[in-house]
Amino acid sequence: MLPATGIVSRSVAGCRSPAPTPEVSQTAVMTPSPGAVPPAVPRARLRAVGRRLAAVHGAPPAPRRLPPLDELVLTVLSQHTSDVNRDRAFDDLRRAFPRWDDVADAPAPAIARAIRRGGLAPTKAVRIKALLGLLRAQGRSLDERAFRGMRAPALYDLLVALPGVGPKTAACVLLFSLGKPYFPVDTHVHRIALRLGLVPPGTDAVKTQLALQAAIAPADMYAVHMNLIRHGRTVCDARRPKCEECVLARLCPRVGVAARASREP
């Protein structure tokens, strides 16, 4: 049975203490797709970014450490919505369907009704049903045992092969659920990495993820990831970055910012 307690957002204080996690190898090397060679990252600048963000934002709240399958579904629900609505949708889904097997067996419209508060419910319902069905077809238990005993690289490869699961989602499962050194790159992290010149202009999110993951110390990945997201939400806005307030201003070449500002009305 799934736990009855609600989800505590990874982006706010008050997260519950980490729980024991299934045995997974400490080895965590992201498997690159063909041709996905990560660019070199200016590591001294990256370390300085991490220190300055930590000085301003402090240590982020501890991760929830949900079971990996729970984290996978939660991350699918997080796409294109707020943390609050994601958590509401997850809790609603758990109330409607006590077991993941129940979700896999349910019609997609019924799943969509359960997760409607998370937005894009019809699309997410199809994805969740499909990935659960595929995992079950592979002989995996749809519970906390689903990925037990898997080495981290093998689990990453399995996850990105699932419908609707990309490198960011797979890295979220490994980092947030299992505490493995994988570095998810969402829109905020990608934008800041480009503006700071941590990766060359035009580098896509997948290569940015590979590059930053290779450059950040494993012990620092969670804090750097969380603080970059917080900085992107509060200071380094996509349209109107508050450069005059930015603790990273002296480190930042503002790649793309001046050109964007000149086009704003």
Position 64 scores a pLDDT of 86
pLDDT, average across residues 246-255: 97
74 with 170, same domain: the answer is yes
Tell me if 125 is assigned to some domain: yes
Alpha carbon distance 174, 177 (integer Å): 6
Read off the pLDDT of residues 104-135 as tens digits, 9 standing for 90 and up: 999 999 999 999 999 999 999 999 999 999 99
171 with 72, same domain: the answer is yes
Q: What pTM did the predictor assign? A: 0.84
Residue that finishes a domain, picked among 133, 150, 177: 177
Q: Measured in Å, how far apart are the chain's first and last C-alpha atoms?
A: 54
- Written as six digits, the tokens of 75 are 């991350």
Q: Which domain holds residue 163?
A: 68-177
Number of domains in the chain: 2
Amino acid at 242: K
Mean per-residue pLDDT of the chain: 88
87 with 173, same domain: the answer is yes
Q: Which residue has the tokens 């509060």?
A: 234
Distances (CA, A) of 165 to 2, 77, 157, 169, 244: 22, 11, 10, 6, 37
Q: Which residues are catalytic?
A: 168
Coil, strand or helix: which one is 134?
helix
Asked whether the beta carbons of 64 and 8 are under 8 A apart, the reply is: yes
Tell me if 30 is assigned to some domain: no
> Considering the chain, what percentage of its residues have pLDDT values greater than 70?
84
> Considering the chain, what percentage of its residues have pLDDT values greater than 90?
81
Amino acid at 247: V
Alpha carbon 244 to its chain's center: 29
Alpha carbon 30 to its chain's center: 14
Q: Closest Cα to residue 217, out of 54, 37, 64, 2?
A: 54
Q: CA 254, 168, 28 angle in degrees (round to 5)?
A: 105
Q: Closest Cα to residue 214, out of 27, 30, 26?
A: 30
205 with 254, same domain: the answer is yes
Q: Is the pLDDT of residue 172 over 50?
A: yes
146 with 196, same domain: the answer is no
Side-chain half-sphere of 137: how many Cα atoms within 13 Å?
9
Tell me if 204 is assigned to some domain: yes
Position 260 scores a pLDDT of 53
